[in-house]
Structure 1
Amino acid sequence: MAMIVREEGVRGLWKGNMAAEYLYLTYSGIQFLVYQQTRVLLKKTSEISAQTASAATSAPTSQTGPIVAAPLHAVSAFTSSSAVQSWISGANAGIIATASTYPFDLLRTRFAVQRDVKVYTSIVQACRHIYRADGLTGFYRGMSPALIQVVPYMGIMFASYDTLKHLSAWFKHKANVESSQSEAKQKEGAKNISQVLLGLEDLICGGLSGIISKTSVYPLDMVRKRLQIHGSEQQKVTLNIYSPSLSTATKEFNPSNNKLPTTVWRCIVHIARTEGYLALYKGLLPGLVKAAPSSAVTFLVFSQAGTFVEKYLRPLQRQD
């Protein structure tokens, strides 16, 4: 941060912020909408599978009932797990949200890596430049690793958040049981727990889930960002900043057509070969510094918004 401020000024810390704001606004809306709808669908799938299996088993004239019921019971048991629902719903939400908003992600990265030589001066100009240079596909450069990354990333994030929430509920229940030995302790314990964990629980669980998921898939995130800045003049201007080894990889990797590694696997192999395996985790610490509070606030707002809807808006809908 000190180097950025020294070389580019304080405004350098907010490069690409406008594209990032568009990205977060649309991404979060799509993500949580799809997440909730997928969870509802999985719950219905579990219930229907259980009912169908019970009906097939209890049919007196059916000889194939047990055979049909076995896989249905398995589906019901699998989809009824809260952690499984969170993982599948999170992964599905991540795929749809990423595919829908990926151009904003690419623009954010391209703006962030600019330094003295400005290839992009505004979002509109950047869109025109990318379209003229690379066509529509230019807006989706590096999306393959993004989609590969987002499945485990969002799945792990939502599943770990759900698991941490269950652990928190278990600890609260245990504390309440232990404090019930005396009436005074019970009141004091319940009061203290409710005050401390009112919003702190969502913040802690959300922050930890962000750290767990970010660390788990960071190499794919690194590859995604490096592939995003491959392209036309911007590649020549910024590649040396973001990846010293890839800045000279043109001649090393393919001297005949001057192309950099363009697939996920080739990029991973090249980074590991030229910079070492630890290079796949370059920038992890600032990534975690960003991911932890971002996830904490996101899940806090999501939880509180859900509470607000259930408490105030649902009753109004029932009255109508």
Structure 2
Amino acid sequence: MVSSPSSHGSSSAEPTSPSRTTGSHHWHDLIAGAIAGLGARAMTAPLDLLKIRRQLAPTSASSSSLASILGGEWRIYHHLHSIAKREGGVRSLFRGNVAASYLWMGYSMTEFWVYGRTSGYLRRLCPDGGGSNGDVKASVAIGFAAGAISGVCATVVTYPFDLCRTIFAARGIFPIPATNVTWSEHTKDLVSRSRRQWPYVQRRPPRTMYDFARQIHDANGMRGFYAGISPGLLQVIPYMGINFALHDAVVVMSESNDSIVSGAAGMGAGVVSKFLVYPLDTVKRRLQAQAFYGTSSGGEDAARKVSSFSNNRRSSSMILPGTASSVVSYDGMMGCFKEIGKKEGIAAFYKGLIPSLLKSSISTGASFWLFTLTKNILRSTG
């Protein structure tokens, strides 16, 4: 990667992090970030789908112990095979991949570019935080602050793609509705924070990103594209802060500019940071799904009923027995926390944790590895 001259004379031979970039090569961050984002997405798409599905499916508090939830999540191949068999083959494991690719590419470009600018500025204010001989504590503090800022910026810029990815991933686990209430009427009640429990409302899953955007805008206006962003922002501050802080600390201590070291550091940082903020991610997913479908998911049981009914009938108002009781309307972020904790138990916040940790370790490690590798290649070619 490109190294920027620090106030105490660091050279290009020093170990580098995403922050050490010269002003004449800022465009390197954008190119490397795009490649890193697309590469990481390609490696982890099925795990991401499984994680989102698990987060959206509610459970009863009596069966929601942490041991039972985590115990069943090690069967990753079984779950992915079940989805592929039920929903149309391996292609279904990449549902929402177009939106997710835009998300990851845009997120990584914004994230690494903002991180490079912010951390470079902070290092000039705190010289002990830069260079191979820099103070590790200062490097960690700078990495955390710059990582948090870059994460917030990237989240705001790309959040509509994140919402779109969740809606596409949720296809197949929402039961078919049972009422003639129109979406616009139902949405008005959701927007006004109505706490009444509604029957399922017919909502045809979008087939394209344009279809998704049109339906969200018609129902909620521009604010609909940012449903669930509050827990998303609260999550990303410690998540990206820890990611970059741990990564930079390892890079500085190892005194290495190797892309493998950068990838390994990112992999470890991804696991630690994801575990700490995971409950916020679960709340964000529930609010995102509610913005489009209007209710919580009926889970895999409902998915099987959807598949069975769809194969036999094409009615637009079919009733699924036993699903109406699972309807939940969350009253914002705090309301979602309360509802999940009360009805499903604390362990429900960690549904999908195992595939999420596996996905985070692979995607974060791959992102830093590809970013560093690409930056090194760009630097060597001038």
The TM-score normalised by the length of structure 1 is: 0.71
Q: Which amino acid aligns with 2:142?
A: Q
Which string of whole-angstrom CA distances, capped at 9 and with x for unpartnered residues, describes residues 105-164 of structure 1?
Answer: 000000010128642010011101111111111110001110110000000111111122
CA contact (8 A) 1:113 1:241 kept: no
Gap change, CA 1:143 and 1:45, over 3 Å in 2 = same
Shift of residue 25, structure 1, vs aligned partner: 1.1
Secondary structure (helix, strand or coil) at the match of 2:172 reads coil
Cα distance in 2, alignment partners of residues 78 and 198 from structure 1: 20
Q: Which amino acid aligns with 1:159?
A: A
Gap change, CA 1:14 and 1:81, over 3 Å in 2 = same
Name 1:66's counterpart in structure 2.
none
Alignment equivalent of 2:351, drawn from 253, 265, 282: 282
Name 1:240's counterpart in structure 2.
298
Alignment equivalent of 1:6, drawn from 62, 65, 85: 85
Larger radius of gyration: 1
Gap change, CA 1:242 and 1:227, over 3 Å in 2 = farther
Structure holding more helix per residue? 1
Name 1:112's counterpart in structure 2.
169
Q: Which amino acid aligns with 1:100?
A: V
CA contact (8 A) 2:259 2:372 kept: no
Gap change, CA 1:78 and 1:139, over 3 Å in 2 = farther
Cα distance in 2, alignment partners of residues 97 and 108 from structure 1: 16
Cα distance in 2, alignment partners of residues 13 and 139 from structure 1: 24
Q: Which amino acid aligns with 2:102?
A: Y
Q: Which amino acid aligns with 1:231?
A: A
Name 2:215's counterpart in structure 1.
129
Q: Which piece of structure 1 moves more, 2-11 or 85-94?
A: 2-11
Q: Which amino acid aligns with 1:275?
A: E
Figure out how many residues of one structure are paired with residues of the other and give that number.
247
Q: Which piece of structure 1 moves more, 23-32 or 298-307?
A: 298-307
Cα distance in 1, alignment partners of residues 353 and 210 from structure 2: 31
Q: Would you say 1:45 and 2:125 are equivalent positions?
A: yes
Which string of whole-angstrom CA distances, capped at 9 and with x for unpartnered residues, describes residues 233-285 of structure 1?
Answer: x235x6212899x974657xxxxxxxx12322221121111111111110000
CA contact (8 A) 1:226 1:242 kept: no
Cα distance in 2, alignment partners of residues 107 and 90 from structure 1: 25
Shift of residue 200, structure 1, vs aligned partner: 2.8
Gap change, CA 1:120 and 1:166, over 3 Å in 2 = same
Gap change, CA 1:243 and 1:301, over 3 Å in 2 = farther
Cα distance in 1, alignment partners of residues 276 and 301 from structure 2: 21
Name 2:235's counterpart in structure 1.
149
Gap change, CA 1:199 and 1:46, over 3 Å in 2 = closer
Q: Which amino acid aligns with 1:227?
A: L
Q: Which amino acid aligns with 1:101?
A: T
Name 2:283's counterpart in structure 1.
223
Secondary structure (helix, strand or coil) at the match of 2:290 reads coil
Q: Would you say 1:210 and 2:284 are equivalent positions?
A: no
Cα distance in 2, alignment partners of residues 201 and 168 from structure 1: 8
Name 2:23's counterpart in structure 1.
none
Q: Which amino acid aligns with 1:156?
A: I
Where do residues 22-171 of structure 1 align in structure 2 (5 Å cutoff)?
22-46=102-126, 81-115=138-172, 118-169=204-255
Shift of residue 97, structure 1, vs aligned partner: 0.5
- Structure 1: gaps spanning 5 or more residues: 48-76, 173-196, 252-259, 314-320
Cα distance in 2, alignment partners of residues 208 and 275 from structure 1: 30
Shift of residue 46, structure 1, vs aligned partner: 2.9
The TM-score normalised by the length of structure 2 is: 0.60
Q: Which amino acid aligns with 2:157?
A: S
Percent same amino acid at aligned positions?
Answer: 34
CA contact (8 A) 2:298 2:326 kept: no
Q: Which amino acid aligns with 1:29?
A: M
- Structure 2: gaps spanning 5 or more residues: 1-79, 128-133, 177-203, 303-322
CA contact (8 A) 1:113 1:242 kept: no
Cα distance in 1, alignment partners of residues 105 and 253 from structure 2: 30
Q: Which amino acid aligns with 1:274?
A: K
User: Which one has more relative contact order, counting CA pairs under 8 Å at least 6 apart?
Assistant: 2
Q: Which amino acid aligns with 1:241?
A: G
Gap change, CA 1:164 and 1:135, over 3 Å in 2 = same
Q: Would you say 1:306 and 2:375 are equivalent positions?
A: yes
Q: Which amino acid aligns with 2:233?
A: L
Secondary structure (helix, strand or coil) at the match of 2:207 reads coil
